Amino acid sequence: MLRVTDDDPYLWLEDVESEAALAWVAERNAETEAALARGPGFASLKQSLREVLDASDRIPWTVRRGAYLYNFWQDAGNARGVWRRTTLERYRKEDPGWDVLIDLDALGAEEGEKWVWAGAQVRRPDHDRALVRLSRDGGDAVVVREFDLAARSFVEDGFRVAEAKTRAGWIDADTVFIGTDFGPGSLTDAGYPRTVRRWRRGTPLADARTVFEAGTGDVEAWGWHESTPGFERDFVGRSTDFFHSETYLLTADDTPVRIEVPDDATVHAHREHLLVTLKSAWLGQPAGSLLAFGFDAFLAGERTPEVLFTPDGRTALAGHAWTRHHLILETMRDVSTRIEVLTPAPRGGWTREPLADVPALSAGEVVDTDPDAGDEFFLSVSGFLQPSTLYHGHIGDGRDAMDVLKQAPARFDTAGLAVHQFFAASRDGTRVPYFVIGPDHSRTGPGPALLYGYGGFELSLTPFYSGVTGRAWLERGGTYVIANIRGGGEYGPAWHQAALGAGRPRAYEDFAAVAADLVARGITAPAMLGAEGGSNGGLLMGAMLTRYPHLFGAIVAQVPLLDMLRFHKLLAGASWTAEYGDPDDPADLPHLRELSPYHRLAEDREYPPVLLMTSTRDDRVHPGHARKAAARLRELGHRVLLHENTGGGHAGASDNEQAAHNEALVHTFLWQHLGTGSAPA
């Protein structure tokens, strides 16, 4: 049995910007740069990755708002990026003639801030103003400013909110829903807004009228306005934890009327329809089902659903998107996408037909629709070796044929590479799917392999094309592996719930089973197998280090969660107790103590070398997790490097220069320990 200790001499490293902590971080960064960034291959690798990130022929992904397609873009000449727009007609051309609305580099230089784009909400139905969100160097906290799209300038006396984890959305031309830091008592324990207020133009923010409140122990409160003509409605709600919530319809006098569904279900209102996605059984339907009701009939007590999707052992709901008259349904079968169009009939019932054929072991995603404008859709299809293709089409009216809007070029050499899906048997016999991208190992024999996983919060890892991974790893002889372990959503709610709380070790057993299966198939060997994960996946990496160190030759943990006895006291950690458990609850403390990688680190174990990556500006997962683990590993005499970017937030990078540098560090580290001792030329 491993010795688990509560001793923590490194609490001082949780003081994010203290002089002592930052000096210690600077020393660790210097060690990492000396070990990884000064070799002969680092500069060329970084430059190669920067070319991928800055490439001018990338697909500029857009969202339609009225007559325009909006895009945010970063490249070598726009390090922080530009927010811009064009028309669909111009977008079809090689040069879309972009109209730049906000230049973040120019704005940052003018204001002396390292602004990072955090999104914008364009006002419907006029599409003439936007609520722009700007982050200081990548943090989750933002400032909000009203922007005039015609004048291309911020509104001098418009809606403005100081830095906070703000939620804001339009109600009408002169009113917004606002949730922000109003002072003591206005935030939940997790640091998110506890109240929803109506804020009228021209009035002080402090005078905004409260229409809904959540409890301090909840995650957050929210409000949104449905502006579809003829179906204007206001909704508010609260997240009691990460997976449970309550949604209310506000009446004309702001009385909240609850939408009576299970608190672990999600609801979506569209015109006369109400969709309910189940996470547990209800009305005779199993977890993972999608149900449809008439909105008004449901409020009146009707509970007979139209069942739009029912899962089985191999399928799960991946998402849905409305057009004006149709519902596009995305499902997965063994983690490969299927897409259908469902159409409500005038007298009840729904019809369905395929929308597009997605190749096997690939992913399709509806990236945008505009339900107010019509039945237009934008669809992306890609795979591990298949660059993204962006399609545009309309449903119905004889215009079902899709046309290709944009095609991304290949970024790396795929000669000799193939994609396969295998299944590993976990400790309890569960079949765990995983993707292998690489050469034919029956001919090449075992070689360097990188195993990536996440396994939490019902997030699914689906096929995707990565020019960075292709250049840094695949075309240099490595094999890339994605493990679809429990805790994710690849097989619906049950797949996630199997690894909640005290069940978390199932996710770790799944990942370890995939690692062992790779060796059994002759794809790699433990000394040549690396593991990588970020955030919750960083916790997974901590588990691999402390529970299965013999399976790996190197481990990379990015913005990791590692101290499971204090995570709920650090930044947004209180919002994750539904996923892991609550250290302050005596019933949860024993399993969290066993889960906590920081507390399982031991002197008498042999660990593979570790690279820990974090950001000083990460205000979601505290950088103290990575700092303290690095300090503890150093104290115990183990091989560890720490790189802490000063900016970047939870993403770890604010611009392509930082992203390329981070990726070059990661892959140089991996090649040093899993390959021939240095990154291939």
Contact 406, 389 (CB under 8 A): yes
Rounded Cα distance between 523 and 449, Å, is: 8
pTM assigned to the model: 0.96
The one-letter amino acid at 230: G
Position 5 in a domain: no
Position 483 in a domain: yes
Write the burial class of residue 61 (CB in 10 Å: 0-12 exposed, 13-18 middle, 19+ buried): middle
Whether residue 400 is predicted with pLDDT greater than 70 in this model: the reply is: no
Contact 377, 385 (CB under 8 A): no
Q: Mean pLDDT over residues 168-186, rounded?
A: 97
- Token pair for 515: 């690692």
Write the burial class of residue 253 (CB in 10 Å: 0-12 exposed, 13-18 middle, 19+ buried): exposed
Please give the share of the chain, as a percent, with pLDDT higher than 70.
98
Q: What angle do CA 199, 201, 203 make, to 5 degrees?
A: 75
pLDDT, tens only, 274-284: 999 999 999 99
- Give the least confident one: 176-190, 354-368, 461-475: 354-368
The one-letter amino acid at 593: R
Position 613 in a domain: yes
The one-letter amino acid at 402: M
Rounded Cα distance between 663 and 128, Å, is: 39
What pLDDT does residue 675 have? 87
Contact 208, 198 (CB under 8 A): yes
Whether residue 3 is predicted with pLDDT greater than 60 in this model: the reply is: no
Q: Quick check: helix, strand or coil at residue 130?
A: strand
Exposure letters 208-231 (e unless 16+ CB within 10 A, then b): beebbbbeeebbbbbbbbebeeee
pLDDT, tens only, 467-498: 999 999 999 999 999 999 999 999 999 999 99
Rounded Cα distance between 527 and 553, Å, is: 4
Rounded Cα distance between 341 and 543, Å, is: 42
Whether residue 441 is predicted with pLDDT greater than 80 in this model: the reply is: yes
Of the candidates 270, 496, 625, 650, the residue annotated as catalytic is: 650
Whether residue 383 is predicted with pLDDT greater than 90 in this model: the reply is: yes
What pLDDT does residue 678 have? 43
Of the candidates 135, 460, 535, 615, the residue annotated as catalytic is: 535
Rounded Cα distance between 281 and 103, Å, is: 49
Rounded Cα distance between 292 and 299, Å, is: 13
Bridge partner list, 419: 437
Bridge partner list, 75: 78
pLDDT range class, residue 6, cuts 50, 70, 90? low
Please state at what angle helix 536-547 crosses helix 505-520, rounded to 10 degrees: 70
What pLDDT does residue 398 have? 54
| Residue 100 CA neighbour count, 13 Å, CB half | 11
Rounded Cα distance between 238 and 222, Å, is: 6
Q: Based on the fold, state whether residues 319 and 393 are members of the same structural domain.
A: yes
Q: Mean pLDDT over residues 373-379, rounded?
A: 93
Whether residue 499 is predicted with pLDDT greater than 80 in this model: the reply is: yes
- Token pair for 119: 């999104």
Peptide bond into 193 cis (omega under 30): no
Q: What is the CATH number of the domain that holds 31?
A: 3.40.50.1820
Contact 581, 501 (CB under 8 A): yes
| Residue 433 CA neighbour count, 13 Å, CB half | 22
Q: Based on the fold, state whether residues 63 and 29 are members of the same structural domain.
A: no
Q: Based on the fold, state whether residues 65 and 187 are members of the same structural domain.
A: no
Q: With CA atoms as reference, report the closest residue to 231 among 258, 268, 198, 196.
A: 268
Active site residue 244: no
| Residue-wise DSSP of 613-648 | EEETT-SSS-THHHHHHHHHHHHTT--EEEEEESS-
Domain range spanning residue 293?
261-311
Exposure letters 612-622 (e unless 16+ CB within 10 A, then b): bbbbbbbbbbb
Q: With CA atoms as reference, report the closest residue to 370 among 362, 360, 378.
A: 378
Contact 271, 249 (CB under 8 A): no
Ranges of beta strands (E only) in 192-349 are 195-200, 209-213, 220-226, 233-241, 244-250, 256-258, 266-270, 273-277, 290-294, 306-309, 315-322, 327-333, 336-344
Q: Based on the fold, state whether residues 69 and 190 are members of the same structural domain.
A: no
pLDDT, tens only, 297-324: 999 999 999 999 999 989 999 999 999 9
Mean pLDDT over each residue of the chain, to the nearest integer: 95
pLDDT range class, residue 356, cuts 50, 70, 90? confident
Q: Mean pLDDT over residues 418-434, rounded?
A: 98
Rounded Cα distance between 271 and 276, Å, is: 14
Q: Mean pLDDT over residues 242-254, rounded?
A: 96
Rounded Cα distance between 106 and 301, Å, is: 55
Q: Which residue's entry shows tokens 């503890």?
A: 632
Please give the share of the chain, as a percent, with pLDDT higher than 90.
95
CB contact set of 369 (below 8 Å; sequence gap of 6+) = 321, 322, 323, 328, 376, 377, 378
Rounded Cα distance between 50 and 90, Å, is: 28
Rounded Cα distance between 595 and 63, Å, is: 41
What pLDDT does residue 502 have? 98
Bridge partner list, 362: 383
Q: Based on the fold, state whether residues 619 and 631 are members of the same structural domain.
A: yes
Q: What angle do CA 287, 377, 372 make, to 5 degrees?
A: 90
Position 47 in a domain: yes
Q: Based on the fold, state whether residues 520 and 659 are members of the same structural domain.
A: yes
Rounded Cα distance between 390 and 375, Å, is: 17
Report how many domains make up the chain: 5
Helices (H) and strands (E) in the chain, counts: 15, 37
Q: Based on the fold, state whether residues 128 and 265 are members of the same structural domain.
A: no
Position 2 in a domain: no
What pLDDT does residue 677 have? 43
Ranges of beta strands (E only) in 262-385 are 266-270, 273-277, 290-294, 306-309, 315-322, 327-333, 336-344, 350-356, 362-369, 376-383
Contact 186, 166 (CB under 8 A): no
Domain boundary (410, 434, 458) is at: 410
Whether residue 597 is predicted with pLDDT greater than 60 in this model: the reply is: yes
Q: Mean pLDDT over residues 216-221, rounded?
A: 97
Q: Based on the fold, state whether residues 530 and 400 are members of the same structural domain.
A: no
Q: Based on the fold, state whether residues 300 and 317 are members of the same structural domain.
A: no
Q: With CA atoms as reference, report the closest residue to 55 among 412, 417, 380.
A: 412
Position 544 in a domain: yes
Position 495 in a domain: yes
The one-letter amino acid at 299: L
Q: Mean pLDDT over residues 325-354, rounded?
A: 94
What pLDDT does residue 676 have? 58
Rounded Cα distance between 338 and 666, Å, is: 34
Q: Quick check: helix, strand or coil at residue 227?
A: coil
Active site residue 650: yes
Q: Based on the fold, state whether residues 489 and 627 are members of the same structural domain.
A: yes
The one-letter amino acid at 188: T
CB contact set of 553 (below 8 Å; sequence gap of 6+) = 526, 527, 528, 529, 530, 608, 673, 674
Q: How many CB atoms lie within 10 A of CB 420?
A: 13
Whether residue 233 is predicted with pLDDT greater than 60 in this model: the reply is: yes
Q: Based on the fold, state whether residues 593 and 630 are members of the same structural domain.
A: yes
Ranges of beta strands (E only) in 503-603 are 529-534, 554-558
Whether residue 328 is predicted with pLDDT greater than 90 in this model: the reply is: yes
Position 420 in a domain: yes
pLDDT, tens only, 91-142: 999 999 999 999 999 999 999 999 999 999 999 999 999 999 999 999 999 9
Q: Based on the fold, state whether residues 131 and 102 are members of the same structural domain.
A: yes
- Token pair for 176: 């917004």
Contact 594, 4 (CB under 8 A): yes
Q: How many CB atoms lie within 10 A of CB 254?
A: 13
Q: With CA atoms as reference, report the closest residue to 123 among 201, 185, 210, 203.
A: 201
